[in-house]
Amino acid sequence: MTEYRSDLTRRTFLRGALAGALAAPGAPALLGAERQSTTTRESTPWYRRAYLWGQTNITEKDPVRYDIDWWRGYWKRTQVQAVIINAGGIVAYYPSKFPLHHRAEFLGERDLFGDLTKAAHADGIFVMARMDSNRTDEDFFKAHPDWFARNASGQPYRAADKYIACINSAYYDQYLPDVLREIIERSKPDGFTDNSWAGLGRESICYCDNCTQKFKAKTGKALPRKADWDDQAYREWIMWSYARRTEVWELNNRTTRAAGGPDCIWSGMNSGSVTAQARSFRDLKEIGARADIMMLDHQRRDDDTGFQQNGDTGKRVHMIAGWDTLAPESMAMYQSGPGYYRVAAKPAAEARMWMIAGIAGGIQPWWHHVAAYHEDRRMYQTAEPVMRWWKTNQHYLVGRTPVASVGLVWSQRNTDFFGRDASPEVVDAPYTGFMHALVRARIPYLPIHADDIERQAAAMTVLILPNVGALAEAQVATIRRFVERGGSLFATGATSLHNEWGDPRPDFALGDLFGCHRTGDVTPGGAPGGRGGSTDPIGAFAPSPSGHTYLRLIPELRARVDGPRAGDEPAIPGPRHAVLSGFEETDLLAYGGSLTPLRVDKGAVVPLTFVPPFPTYPPETAWMREPKTDVPGLVLSEHGKGRVAYMPADVDRRYARDHLPDHARLLGNVIRWTAAGSIPLTVEGTGLIDCHLYQQPGRSVLHMVNLTSEATWRAPLDELIRVGPFKITMPVPAGQTKPRARLLVAGGTPAVEVAGGRASLEIASILDHEVIVLE
Ligand SMILES: [Zn+2]
């Protein structure tokens, strides 16, 4: 712990020093990265100035065919400042003194890792030694049978022909630190990363003697016999397993710094998916507090999440690790998804857009090839132009602060204990639905961890809570304070309906703010946003049997006389609420989910109600059996200056899955109503554009990523499609009255008009992306 605290102190000091440099009076107009590199270069550790990365993931065959000179040329062409080189773990690429450290099949006596490290250092490039450390050959297992993970019947866990080491064994406490020290003594890499450092995942409980004894000593309990989210022993096993990974993170850092100096850091790789992090016990928040650099192994999109998910990942990791912490991300130059073709080039448009989408969210590009020799040479053409553009414009791509009035709340404990085994459906999909809707609506937002609301959301207007079922009392209290201070909420589904362990509460903890409450007569499978499964006493996320359901648009009811409506005074239909704008020609929206009754507080507005399922087939039967109900699909209320929208309907999840445009429009409308004019950006013009807004001293920076393509949702992308023109209004940089605009991709200086504190300008078109700098 002491090590960790001193490290934090050092980081805090460093951040203070950098901030001071940026704020120095009389500083030149160009700040950020350039200033760091000229005035604080010597005090800035290497991992804060290694912006462009490359990795050739070495195969066992490569020691006899690795053309180091050719790769040095490629490093130079792509401008990389750091490379990742395979050192040891499952396979060693140097002649290790440890006889059981398996040498690459074609290594012989060659020190390929050492040769490459020397070459990189000679070229002024930093080296991160790559470990892949969680499994071994059979001879290792036979020599140390007590270092390996075992199932309930005592058999070792295996992956193909390899044996999985137990994270609680001396393999991690003694053997790996010895290997790290050996590598440092031989070749002095600048740091270490590790691909599979977190050991066995959540799906496999280890019952080895180490785990049995350590868990008993920590909790007084026996290891859980199976995965049972309602069993307190299983819950404690989850938290104990997280804590061990964090301990290994600290142990590895102590080891590498003691042997290699204070900047010889160790930083294991992380995923951009919180569900993937949860399943491998990598706690993003705890890691973000400790990491000097965030190494992301997150190589591609899937069809549900799109390129925009990489921009989201960049924002998420920076919000937890700090915007001055670099976050390089491994970006596959080979075809991965759909399919794995390790030595075939990924279509250039697909690889390029993944890189650009990440850069827009603050990610450092890192090309990634598997094997040192390729017959598909097209893959060597993709990264170079992106890296060169990055290098030319680096002042505007680092050292910047995001600007947003909307926060999208997440927490890994919610993924664990509310999501349980269904987190892709009940946690990830609602979040993703909002992400897509925000991108569609061109509303800048930031991912906010539920424990950081007090610190990070103070200046925000709206918090979105996408089916955040599990909230601890303290988190509920901070959300309450946010509203008391005038903030607005947009919550969906089961938000606040469960405590931090995922146990159901009798009512929403935020029910008074939502303006509605659960009724006592919820039928099984009917609670909003539930996760399903036999362990869930109150809900299921399954759609209604046919999925053939609708939401009915309800006019606001106005009293016959001015003033508040009293008692049973008759009401007349008024105009529809602003959240229904754009739906003037329909009284129904396709929905597809199910809903159950809620008790709505007086004064709350219900602009949408549920139409229960009716047959779709044969068509003669497709008539509504129950056209009108009182079951709310959306409840709106006002609390002081704060506006609260609670949407029991899982429109967020449905948008992630079905992509119905009405769902995006509805979510966007509700966000705009809660934001009440506070959104700092408008962009007019056709196309799907992901907008990231930043500020630097004296400067506004808008990064627009063109996601309009024939493969907007489905990979791989083959062709880029130009869109435009766009009319944009964005914030005027602080202290400026007549800012000038510059385009970092198309070039040119469009005219700027300033009115009402906003700058407006037009750009003709965007092919892949554009960065507008206002200064
Ligand atoms: Zn074990």
Q: How far is the CA of 67 from the centre of ligand 1 (A)?
A: 41
pLDDT at residue 746, as a whole number: 98
Identify the pLDDT of residue 17.
35
Cβ atoms of 281 and 328 within 8 Å: the answer is: no
Q: Which long-range contacts does 12-20 make (Cβ < 8 Å, 24+ apart)? A: 14/43, 14/44, 14/45, 14/48, 15/322, 15/324, 17/43, 18/44, 18/324, 18/399
Do residues 3 and 22 make contact, with C-beta atoms less than 8 angstroms apart?
A: no
pLDDT for residue 18 is more than 60: no
Sign of the C-alpha dihedral computed for residues 557, 559, 563 and 564 taken in this order: negative
Residue 545: what pLDDT?
A: 53
Q: What is the pLDDT of residue 573?
A: 73
Tens digits of residue pLDDT in 342-373: 999 999 999 999 999 999 999 999 999 999 99
Instruction: Say which residue, 257 or 339, is predicted with more confidence.
Output: 257
| 40: confidence class by pLDDT, cuts 50, 70, 90 | low
Residue 431 main-chain phi, psi, to 5 deg: -60, -45
How remote is the CA of residue 247 from the centroid of ligand 1, in Å?
Answer: 15
pLDDT above 70: percentage of residues in the chain: 89
First to last CA, the chain: 44
User: CA angle, corner 9, sides to 8 and 12, nearest 5?
Assistant: 85
SS3 674: helix
CB-CB contact of 654 with 429 (8 Å): no
Q: Cα(399)–Cα(592) distance, rounded to whole angstroms?
A: 44
How many whole angstroms from 236 Cα to the centroid of ligand 1? 15
- Coil vs helix vs strand at 387: helix
454-468 tens-digit pLDDT: 999 988 999 999 999
Q: For all residues of the chain together, what is the average pLDDT?
A: 90
* Average pLDDT of span 47-60: 98
In this model, does residue 430 exceed pLDDT 90?
yes
Question: pLDDT tens-digit profile of 160-189?
Answer: 999 999 999 999 999 999 999 999 999 999
Residue 654 has a pLDDT of: 96
Q: How far out from the chain centre does Cα 103 lie?
A: 36
How far, in Å, is the centroid of ligand 1 from the Cα of 675? 50
> What confidence score (pLDDT) does residue 3 get?
31
Burial class, 223, CB count within 10 angstroms (exposed 0-12 / middle 13-18 / buried 19+): buried
Distance 411 CA to ligand 1 centre (A): 27
**CA 193 to centroid of ligand 1, rounded, Å:** 23
In the block, tokens 């690429």 appear at 93
Distance 279 CA to ligand 1 centre (A): 17
Q: Give the chain's length.
A: 775
Contact present, 695 and 400 (Cβ < 8 Å)? yes
Which is more confident, 521 or 204?
204
For the chain, give the percent of residues with pLDDT over 90.
84
Strand partners, 697: none
- CA 102, distance to chain mean position in Å, is 35
Instruction: Provide CB contacts within 8 A for 748, sequence distance 6+.
Output: 742
The predicted structure's pLDDT at residue 714: 84
Residues with CB under 5 A from ligand 1 (ion): 149, 166, 168, 206, 208, 210-211
Least confident of 523-532, 626-635, 676-685: 523-532
Q: What would the 3-class secondary structure string for 430-469 be? A: HHHHHHHHHHHHCCCEEEEECCCHHHHCCCCCEEEECCCC
CA distances from 73 to 168, 192, 386, 388, 537 (A): 43, 24, 17, 14, 61
What's the rounded Cα separation, in Å, for the pair 355 and 87?
26
Among 77-86, 212-221, 295-304, 619-628, the range scoring the smallest mean pLDDT is: 295-304
pLDDT digits (tens, 9 = 90+) for 586-595: 999 999 999 9
CA distance 346 to 369: 11
| 20: pLDDT strictly greater than 70 | no
User: In angstroms, what is the span from residue 462 Cα to ligand 1's centroid?
Assistant: 44
Segment 142-155, tens digit of pLDDT: 999 999 999 999 99
Predicted confidence band at 529 (pLDDT cuts at 50, 70, 90)?
Answer: low
Q: Give tens-digit pLDDT for 384-424.
A: 999 999 999 999 999 999 999 999 999 999 999 999 999 99
pLDDT (tens digit per residue) in 93-127: 999 999 999 999 999 999 999 999 999 999 999 99
Q: Strand order of the sheet with strand 689-696?
A: 401-402, 689-696, 699-706, 769-774, 741-743
Q: How confident is the model at residue 570 (pLDDT cuts 50, 70, 90)?
A: low
Res 274: pLDDT: 97
Residue 377 DSSP symbol: G
Are the C-beta atoms of 390 and 355 separated by less than 8 Å? no
H or E stretch at 600? strand 598-600
Q: Say how many Å lie between the CA of residue 208 and the centre of ligand 1.
A: 4
pLDDT for 132 equals: 93
Q: How far is the CA of 214 from the centre of ligand 1 (A)?
A: 9
544 pLDDT above the threshold of 50: no
Distances (CA, A) of 123 to 15, 67, 73, 82: 29, 16, 10, 10
In 3D space, the residue among 603, 638, 641, 610 whose CA is nearest the CA of residue 624 turns out to be 610
Alpha helical stretches, state H, 625-717: 651-658, 661-675
Q: What are phi and psi of 606, to 5 degrees?
A: -120, 95
Inter-CA distances, 518 with 20, 464, 535, Å: 52, 20, 20
3-state helix, strand and coil shares in percent for the chain, rounded to the nearest 5: 35, 25, 45
Q: What confidence category does residue 32 fall into, taking pLDDT thresholds of 50, 70 and 90?
A: very low
- Rounded to the nearest angstrom, the distance between the alpha carbon of 698 and the centre of ligand 1 is 54
Q: How confident is the model at residue 41 (pLDDT cuts 50, 70, 90)?
A: low
268 C-alpha to ligand 1 centroid (Å): 20
Q: What is the band of 712 on the pLDDT scale with cuts at 50, 70, 90? A: confident
Residue with token string 């890296």: 387
CA of 177 to the centre of ligand 1 (A): 18
For ligand 1, the distance from its centroid to the CA atom of residue 421, given in whole angstroms, is: 22
d(CA 260, CA 185): 8
CB atoms within 10 A of CB 73: 11
Cis bond before residue 95 (omega within 30° of 0): no
Q: Which residue has the higher pLDDT, 575 or 411?
A: 411
Collapse the DSSP code of 759 into the 3-class scheme (helix H, G, I; strand E, B; otherwise coil) and give the result: strand
Look at residue 520 and tell me whether its pLDDT is greater than 70. no
pLDDT at 38 exceeding the cut of 80:
no
Q: Predicted confidence band at 538 (pLDDT cuts at 50, 70, 90)?
A: very low
Q: What is the pLDDT of residues 477-500, one digit of tens each?
A: 999 999 999 999 999 999 999 999
Q: Is the pLDDT of residue 536 over 60?
A: no
Q: In this model, does residue 242 exceed pLDDT 80?
A: yes
Q: How confident is the model at residue 304 (pLDDT cuts 50, 70, 90)?
A: confident
Cβ atoms of residues 128 and 199 within 8 Å: no
Contact 403, 375 (CB under 8 A): no
Task: Map residue 57 onto helix, strand or coil.
Answer: strand
Token output for 525: 């499978």
- Asked if residue 675 has pLDDT above 70, the reply is yes
Helix or strand run (H / E) with residue 70: helix 68-77
